[in-house]
Structure 1
Amino acid sequence: MRAPFLIGCFLFSWLTTSAQVVLKNLLTENLKNPICIDAHNPRFSWQLAEKNNIPVGQQAYEIQVDSASFSENNTTPLWSSGKITSNQSVYVPYRGKTLLSCHKYFWRVRIWDTNGLRSAWSDQSFWKMGLLSASDWHAQWIRPALNDTVNAPAPLLRTNFSLNKKIREATAYITSHGFYEAQLNGHKVGDSFLTPGWTSYNKRLQYQAYDVTTLLAQGENAMGITLGSGWYRSPLGPYTPRANFYGDKTAVLMEMRIIFTDGSEKIISSDQSWRSSTGALQFAEIYNGCIIDTRLEKSGWAKPASDDHDWHPVIIMPYAKNTLIATYNEPVKQHETFKPIKVITTPRGEKVIDFGQNLVGWVKVTLKGHPGDSIKIAHAEVLDKAGEFYTENLRAAKAENTYILKDTLKRTFEPQFSWQGFRYIKVSGIKGALNPDDFTAVAVYSDMKATGSFLCSNPLLNQLQHNIQWGQKGNFLDVPTDCPQRDERLGWTGDAQVFSRTAAFNMDVHNFFTKWLKDVAADQYPGGSIPFVVPDVFKNGTNEVGGSSGWGDVSTIIPWNMYFAYGDKKILENQFQSMKAWVNYIQKQTRNNLWVTGNHFGDWLFYSVNNDRDGTSAITNKYLIAQCFYAYSTQILINSAKVLNKTTDEQYYSKLLLKIKRAFVNEYVTANGLISSDTQTAYVLALEFDMLPKNLRQQAAARLVKNIGLYRDHLTTGFLGTPYLCDALTRFGYADVAYKLLLQDTYPSWLYPIKQGATTIWERWDGIRTDGSFEESSMNSYNHYAYGAIGDWMYRYIAGITPAAPAYKKITIKPVIGGGLSWAEGKYDCPYGTIYSKWQITDRKLDMRVTVPQNTTADIFVPDFSGNNYKKFTVGPGNYHYSR
């Protein structure tokens, strides 16, 4: 099949009998050549690529797995699927013999295309199994024999070992209580930070695997590990932070498995032979930053020649190993760097640097001074209206890094075991003018692949997309945090669920959310209630701090969104009992099928007027909102049960859903269709979740539009109403109003913060007021992604890219033209390949270009230049062009 194209209203294509398929992007558990998989039946994915611009589809596949490279082994493979008639090319499970811990396996695939032609074998890929059970670990948990507390210096642990044979390969497996960074022979192991990541540590503790072959030497070697408090014991939570939440002592577990060229093996592990001490890192904590005193550093301490005779022995600890799990989500790494765009002397005379972008990470600084000089770097997101350095919105978080010099040599510093959210830094302790070349801001976030891009003819919307993406980067540090700068930085469940669909457009968040959702289930309370934050650091003894509608619904909404974005049914399988427990929890709270109990956040940070004499504050009844989300979670549970063939559950919850919706109408809707909370959020949720009888929906949409008009084309929605606002309007024929809201640039609106200079999404619509003053400092983050949920609408309706089936196996391309835009384009890398959609209007003529990935189909709806009429074309993979 050669790539079709469109001219006017005609679709052309032609056949060939010589189609040849190239297979690419082979992944195991959504990872490229991973070296630590603990799934007993790993799943394989691949993509089809056309050759000579000939589009292809798949009708069958065959996978082979072996324990040796296919290029070296011509014997019968360990497992062959045989020819399987299926067009599935994502998450195909291994079905062979039991796989062994720490063993390496190779796999390859070939397919038969829709013309029955067989491809060549793909290039081979590989994966390595991790440690599959607690008994596979030889290492022992060790902790330093030191004054090891939150405020004490960071422990250093080391060992020497000798290797007398030539090394073929070596893998190190490491985890810790607290943060760790490892060195081999003085070189950092891996390029990840904030390891082992954050999970519900008492139930699930990740370990990481590193290929350390090139760091080892034949002869003498040394390994050193630095430990920090991290999420394990740093004070966590606002207002009354709790230290030592998971434990009060740091510890490490390390096992290195070395295979020599003669086939023999050796294991180096953490045991009683290790030694412990402290060095330059005198303090490191999440909210307050770190202190590095180079006068106390132990130079070369992780190299073989280092003398550790005055170091202390370590203590063997009986910590659990049965909670250890391999790491699947992408590690936190360094990414973009920024140089100063301006060096400022504030009215107070403080030295401040502006990096031009609100980001999350840290500053690398090159320093030269005198012994004992102390240089302090403080961090802030904004300057106040007088141009002064502003940190009140950080609350109790100091967010300061201090470096103390030991000599006059020029050295480069960066913090360890801490990070900051900032655009500006204040530098003290340096005499004279600051040299901007000495400062580099480094963005740090989970190493997720960028998958989506959006551009259009309106520069403000392009900046909005930029802000959305940087809000995601800054807050996706192993867990989806609410904010990255103040004394919080927690995995708020409501924020994550409202943003999850947008997140999946911008980046590949499959592994990121799969990992975090397992902690949602792990921290779910016995009665089914979901914590406000995950990992849950609010719980206190028997108190359950959770159960809010819109927040607890994270347990249903994100699994379904991830399933639909990536086609991974296992996400639903993993989470189904958690989803069901949440809906059952709500059901137990109801009275006559109405959820009118409990404490709820409601439409958090909705439009509110301090002196509400005329009733313009957009207050939506919290129980009305709760009822809507009760129905939505129940509907998702029904959908999931259907996918998983759980017929009994599907039938039971289908009947329950009818009762929930009937109760909503009886309680909150008049006979004429007026909803008791006459607000945008009330109508949006009722429409989006199909809470109203069909005969009342269109008039409800008209009431929504009328309400928007009363606020002079401004939104009034908060965290729960905003994600669905433009969707509901577009769905019921008011796309023009959706565009008005999107393009509104006065408060409250998406573009107002941009007019105020925002480079990320704000927590509040008016984080900086029109007079330059700030909202209340107790809750005013300038990097808070929730309102960035509009990005989903921009991809799906402006660019027109929507999944019509899980993983985009079938795609709908239907752009909604409006808002005075002359062109827009969206690009998205789905599991099958790249989707592209661009439209442009020139001289009342529309030009539209679409790319449909291999092994998928699409319905392309081509609008006329006015956007009012569409022509539909159902197509296979290829590049399409429409113009008239």
Structure 2
Amino acid sequence: MKGLFLYILFAIPAMCLAQTPAVDNLTCEYLFNPVGIDQVQPRLSWKINSAQRNTLQQAYHIRVATDASFSSSKTVWNTGKISSDSSILITYQGAPLKSATRYYWQVKIWDNHGHISAWSKTAYFETGLLSPADWTASWIVPQQDSLRKIAAPMLRKQFTLSKKIVSARAYVTAHGLYELYLNGKKVGDQELTPGWTEYKKRLQYQVYDITTMLQQGDNVVGAMIGDGWFRGTTGINQWAFWGRKLALLCQLQITYADGTVQHINSDGSWKGFKSSPVTLNGIYDGENYDARKEIPGWDSKGFNDAGWVPVDTAVYDKKMLVGVESVPVHKIQEIKPIGIFKSPKGTQIIDFGQNLTGWVRLKVSGPAGQTINIRHAEVLDKFGEFYTANLRKATATINYTLKGGGAEVHEPHFTFFGFRYIAVTGFPGEIKPENFTAVVVHSAMPVTGEFTCSDTMINKLQHNIMWGQKGNFVDIPTDCPQRDERLGWTGDAQVFSRTAAFNMQVAPFFAKWMKDVAADQYPNGGIPFVVPDNLLTNQATSAGWGDVSVIVPWTMYQVYADKRILQTQYPSMKAYVDYIVKKSGSRYIWHGGSLFGDWLFYRPGIYDFSEPNGYTSPDLIATAFYAYSSKLLSQAAGVLGNTADEKKYGDIYEHVKKAFIHNYITPTGRVFADSQTGYVLALKFGLMPDSLKAKAAAYLVDDVRSRNNHLSTGFLGTPYLCQVLSQNGHSNVAYDLLLQKTYPSWLYPVKMGATTIWERWDGIKTDSTFQDKTMNSFNHYSYGAVGDWMYQQMAGLQMDAPGYKHIIIKPEPHRKFSFVKASLESMYGQVLSSWAAKDGTMQVHVKIPPNTTADVILPETDGQEIKQDGKPVTGTAEENNTAIKVGSGEYTFSYHWVPKKEAKKTDKRMASTD
């Protein structure tokens, strides 16, 4: 008995401890311990870790201080106990934040089971320079030629620190791209800094903790500046669009043990050298590097800089300087070659097995003066030869000249490439796998989503979608990473934004870029085709592209419950819709508003009239998006409490809907032009009368079936195609589209060996020849927007409240799959939805994070007995489904399942090309 008593005595506290929630994953503005926050009221978020089911937060307590001990004299915000279930994006409301200051914070919570967490581990955020007056450094301009192609200038400054250092920061930006060095070492691990913004209005700066890189006594700060997007060639052969002179702004702030602060600023005392080993650099061109021109010790003390010349100072507006708002670009992973071979014509080729964005690291030994030429390509032609015609004018080449004398290692500095293959000439000796490594580079967004299923080709499609995002989210959302373009096409970003938010944490990425969208917005409210805008298109706007200004902020609000992005972007959202209002007039039809139409929709050969193409009236498209953006703007106004605008734009939506029905929908539910995209947009945007939705959906199905289960949609119709089919009771048709392996389809490129998403449905034709070489990217993420449907409908991972505060789990199983599984790391924690069918039994497994609730909709239950974790459970019947309400925790449901089959029409207007 004594042993039992002791067991109970010790077991009870242990059981209580197991039930006590913990608070972790503390973030400030979505980031873990960020340095350089420019927000004067940053937002704090946390996640709750609890093994107890149905856990909800009932109150929280936040404390913020300038020291980690949270002494009362250093505390700047102490909320006390706040009765609230909010745990994400809590706005700081303490004492005004000071520039260049680190703030520590903790949180604890009370849950609905009567438990109180301990204080979380301490997190921190550090402010940047919150006022232009905080910048004491001057812009410096090194001596440089006015030629189009120049070497990357080098800069240096030697300085002395006389006391013991306790902390030091570097605040840096440039006109061009920069690399900063201290005492012979590169500062930080970021790439392509300061990133790409609308440089005339917004320029990011980076903040680095350089405490351990400095020493008492003599030190040297150095920098190298490349052309980048600022001075280099971008857009349609636009050179030096933002300026011809490269420049640097650098401010080192050193805090000593005695509390005094010293600044080492860029100013006229710095020296520059216009020659460097980087003899040519460019986003499109690549890099020429002559290792013989390296200057040993140039960024270290003791170097004789007598041959260097003083820099000029310049005055540029510091009001446009903003702390980094997005996630930085990093080296993310490395890939080794899977093959080294010679083409039939003798070209030495290395295959990395994956189309990627980044560069190669070269390791080589050889004689001084030997030049190695490295070209980049996405594909080989049908004969196995290196193919670069689709790069157009982008030379995308590295020329490395050896200095000799031993092993040399090189990575390029101010450029990147889109490639799977490289062609190498001039390499001394036999190429071995260890000589070349592909370095994958993109914005360091945390991976949040995972999708997998029983079909290997669909898994490969998801792989390609993810790699398309990796390759094109390089500081801005580009259309492609390889040719002479690589621009922030607004339509591409708009259609993919929802899928992007499943795959990765994209809130800060899009928040930063959307500010550039607003900065580039025309005075009349129109939106450029690309952002940052360097196309000089005379203020042209196109429907579906311009709508990025409304759709992306709304999408980010839905996924992350982020009201601030709505508040920040609302003037831009409103100006865009008002622009359309003026263009459309009293008829509410936006004539001429769609310049690109349903871009790259399916069309047969130019002389092939055996079947209809996928053409959709541009005015129909423009008017549909006019309605949709008006509707979303009305909803955004409602979220922000602007009831007047909510009504105003809600009324506009109803007017546009009425005009759309009158002009484009027949009394029988047919949509003008009878195209898949026409039906998809009408149904998705709520423009079809309720009484005609079933008929319209049936016509859409007929079109798909008549094409032998092929799509005919382009950039604007494709993202919603499967979604509309599922939402109107035709998931089997959506599955048949997804599983189609012949052109045009999602799996045709997979079957042809694609490792990313193609720009065109038939980028490589069935005879292995290419589509139009002037526009044929093999890493173009737009068609990957089907990933949204894969997560939401196939796996059933949906939301019913912004930020996934309330979750819907509603899988749509299909007889051709034995399982589908998807997870998402939401703001509250991991949401998981998976289903598996075997021997007539359906098993649905879900995971719901603490502080959220969910409705689990079990498909096709048909009165079957349902078991939850092996025990019978009842729910609410919904047609042939069953709905069960759950709180946080993991649950497994099982029941007998018989998949339903759907009769197919056999009219094959589109013959199989398999």
TM-score with structure 1 length normalisation?
0.96
Q: What residue in structure 2 maps to residue 3 of structure 1?
A: none
Q: Is the 8 A contact 2:351 2:420 kept in 1?
A: yes
Give the drift of 1:76. 7.2
Give the drift of 1:262. 2.3
Give the drift of 1:870. 2.1
Question: Which is worse superposed, 295-304 or 178-187?
Answer: 295-304
Name the SS for the 1:322 alignment partner: helix
- 1:660-687 per-residue CA deviation (whole Å, 9 max, x = no partner) reads 0110111111122221111100001101
Give the drift of 1:614. 3.7
Match of 1:601 among 593, 596, 599: 596
Give the drift of 1:57. 1.1
Name the SS for the 2:630 alignment partner: helix
Q: Count residues in correspondence.
A: 863
Match of 1:696 among 689, 692, 707: 692
Query: Which structure 2 residues correspond to residues 547-696 of structure 1 after superposition, within 5 A?
Result: 547-591=541-585, 592-609=587-604, 610-696=606-692
Amino acid at match of 2:685: F
- 1:575-606 per-residue CA deviation (whole Å, 9 max, x = no partner) reads 11111111110111114111113451010000
Q: In the alignment, is residue 476 of structure 1 matched against residue 476 of structure 2?
A: no
Match of 1:263 among 256, 259, 262: 259
Q: Is the 8 A contact 1:294 1:405 kept in 2?
A: yes
Match of 1:285 among 282, 285, 303: 282
Give the drift of 1:38. 1.4
Q: What residue in structure 2 maps to residue 46 of structure 1?
A: 46
Give the drift of 1:421. 0.3
- 1:861-883 per-residue CA deviation (whole Å, 9 max, x = no partner) reads 12358999322111111111112
Question: Which is worse superposed, 721-730 or 101-110?
Answer: 101-110
Q: What residue in structure 2 maps to residue 882 of structure 1?
A: 893
Q: What residue in structure 2 maps to residue 62 of structure 1?
A: 61
Aligned mates of 1:22, 1:49 — CA distance in 2: 5
Q: In the alignment, is residue 36 of structure 1 matched against residue 36 of structure 2?
A: yes
Aligned mates of 1:445, 1:602 — CA distance in 2: 30
Q: Is the 8 A contact 2:543 2:593 kept in 1?
A: no
Aligned mates of 2:54, 2:806 — CA distance in 1: 15
Aligned mates of 2:303, 2:773 — CA distance in 1: 49
Q: Is the 8 A contact 2:164 2:257 kept in 1?
A: yes
Aligned mates of 1:599, 1:675 — CA distance in 2: 18
Q: What residue in structure 1 maps to residue 730 of structure 2?
A: 734
Q: Is the 8 A contact 1:452 1:506 kept in 2?
A: yes
Query: Which structure 2 residues correspond to residues 216-295 of structure 1 after superposition, within 5 A?
Result: 216-238=214-236, 241-277=237-273, 278-295=275-292
Aligned mates of 2:673, 2:16 — CA distance in 1: 61
Aligned mates of 1:361, 1:476 — CA distance in 2: 12
Question: Which is worse superposed, 121-130 or 186-195?
Answer: 121-130
Match of 1:855 among 822, 832, 851: 851
Aligned mates of 2:98, 2:815 — CA distance in 1: 58
Question: CA 1:531 to 1:482, structure 2 compared with 1: closer, same or farther past 3 Å?
Answer: same
Amino acid at match of 2:598: D
Aligned mates of 1:821, 1:587 — CA distance in 2: 47
Name the SS for the 1:78 alignment partner: strand
Amino acid at match of 1:21: P
Query: Which structure 2 residues correspond to residues 376-455 of structure 1 after superposition, within 5 A?
Result: 376-455=373-452
Question: CA 1:332 to 1:819, structure 2 compared with 1: closer, same or farther past 3 Å?
Answer: farther
Aligned mates of 1:573, 1:501 — CA distance in 2: 20
Match of 1:717 among 690, 713, 719: 713
Amino acid at match of 1:27: T
Give the drift of 1:314. 0.4
Aligned mates of 1:555, 1:423 — CA distance in 2: 33
Q: What residue in structure 1 maps to residue 7 of structure 2?
A: none
Q: Is the 8 A contact 1:287 1:487 kept in 2?
A: yes
Question: Which is worse superposed, 179-188 or 868-877?
Answer: 868-877
Aligned mates of 2:773, 2:36 — CA distance in 1: 44
Name the SS for the 1:777 alignment partner: coil
Aligned mates of 1:351, 1:696 — CA distance in 2: 61
Q: Is the 8 A contact 1:763 1:784 kept in 2?
A: yes
Aligned mates of 2:49, 2:27 — CA distance in 1: 15
Q: Is the 8 A contact 1:334 1:445 kept in 2?
A: yes
- 1:505-533 per-residue CA deviation (whole Å, 9 max, x = no partner) reads 00000000000000000000000000000
Q: What residue in structure 2 maps to residue 520 of structure 1?
A: 517
Q: Is the 8 A contact 2:517 2:531 kept in 1?
A: yes
Q: Is the 8 A contact 1:590 1:597 kept in 2?
A: no
Aligned alpha-carbon RMSD (Å): 1.5
Aligned mates of 1:127, 1:76 — CA distance in 2: 15
Q: Is the 8 A contact 1:17 1:115 kept in 2?
A: no
Q: Is the 8 A contact 1:846 1:864 kept in 2?
A: no
Name the SS for the 2:551 alignment partner: helix
Name the SS for the 1:501 alignment partner: helix
Aligned mates of 2:385, 2:781 — CA distance in 1: 26
Question: CA 1:291 to 1:465, structure 2 compared with 1: closer, same or farther past 3 Å?
Answer: same
Name the SS for the 2:37 alignment partner: coil
Amino acid at match of 2:64: V
Give the drift of 1:119. 2.3
- 1:94-120 per-residue CA deviation (whole Å, 9 max, x = no partner) reads 112211111221111122211343322
Give the drift of 1:432. 4.3
Match of 2:528 among 521, 531, 534: 531
Match of 1:817 among 813, 817, 835: 813
- 1:211-230 per-residue CA deviation (whole Å, 9 max, x = no partner) reads 11111112211111000010
Give the drift of 1:75. 4.6
Amino acid at match of 2:354: Q
Q: Is the 8 A contact 2:283 2:415 kept in 1?
A: yes
TM-score with structure 2 length normalisation?
0.93
Give the drift of 1:55. 5.0
Amino acid at match of 2:890: N
Q: In the alignment, is residue 782 of structure 1 matched against residue 768 of structure 2?
A: no
Question: CA 1:693 to 1:255, structure 2 compared with 1: closer, same or farther past 3 Å?
Answer: same
Aligned mates of 2:74, 2:612 — CA distance in 1: 74
- 1:616-672 per-residue CA deviation (whole Å, 9 max, x = no partner) reads 211110110111111110110011011000000011111111110110111111122
Question: Which is worse superposed, 137-146 or 500-509?
Answer: 137-146
Gap regions ≥5 residues in structure 2: 1-14, 865-878, 896-914
Question: Which is worse superposed, 129-138 or 419-428?
Answer: 129-138
Aligned mates of 2:799, 2:258 — CA distance in 1: 52
Aligned sequence identity (%)? 49
Q: What residue in structure 1 maps to residue 88 of structure 2?
A: 90
Match of 2:205 among 201, 204, 207: 207
Aligned mates of 1:622, 1:78 — CA distance in 2: 56
Q: What residue in structure 2 maps to residue 110 of structure 1?
A: 108
Q: What residue in structure 1 maps to residue 161 of structure 2?
A: 163
Question: Which is worse superposed, 53-62 or 275-284?
Answer: 53-62
Name the SS for the 2:575 alignment partner: helix
Q: What residue in structure 2 maps to residue 154 of structure 1?
A: 152
Name the SS for the 2:178 alignment partner: strand
Q: Is the 8 A contact 1:59 1:116 kept in 2?
A: no
Aligned mates of 2:43, 2:111 — CA distance in 1: 21
Name the SS for the 1:779 alignment partner: coil
Aligned mates of 1:525, 1:76 — CA distance in 2: 46
Aligned mates of 1:127, 1:24 — CA distance in 2: 15
Name the SS for the 2:311 alignment partner: strand
Name the SS for the 2:627 alignment partner: helix
Question: CA 1:452 to 1:753, structure 2 compared with 1: closer, same or farther past 3 Å?
Answer: same
Question: Which is worse superposed, 604-613 or 52-61?
Answer: 52-61
Name the SS for the 1:69 alignment partner: coil
Match of 2:768 among 741, 749, 772: 772
Question: CA 1:212 to 1:176, structure 2 compared with 1: closer, same or farther past 3 Å?
Answer: same
Q: What residue in structure 1 maps to residue 803 of structure 2?
A: 807
Aligned mates of 1:842, 1:85 — CA distance in 2: 46
Aligned mates of 1:800, 1:149 — CA distance in 2: 57
Aligned mates of 2:389, 2:100 — CA distance in 1: 50
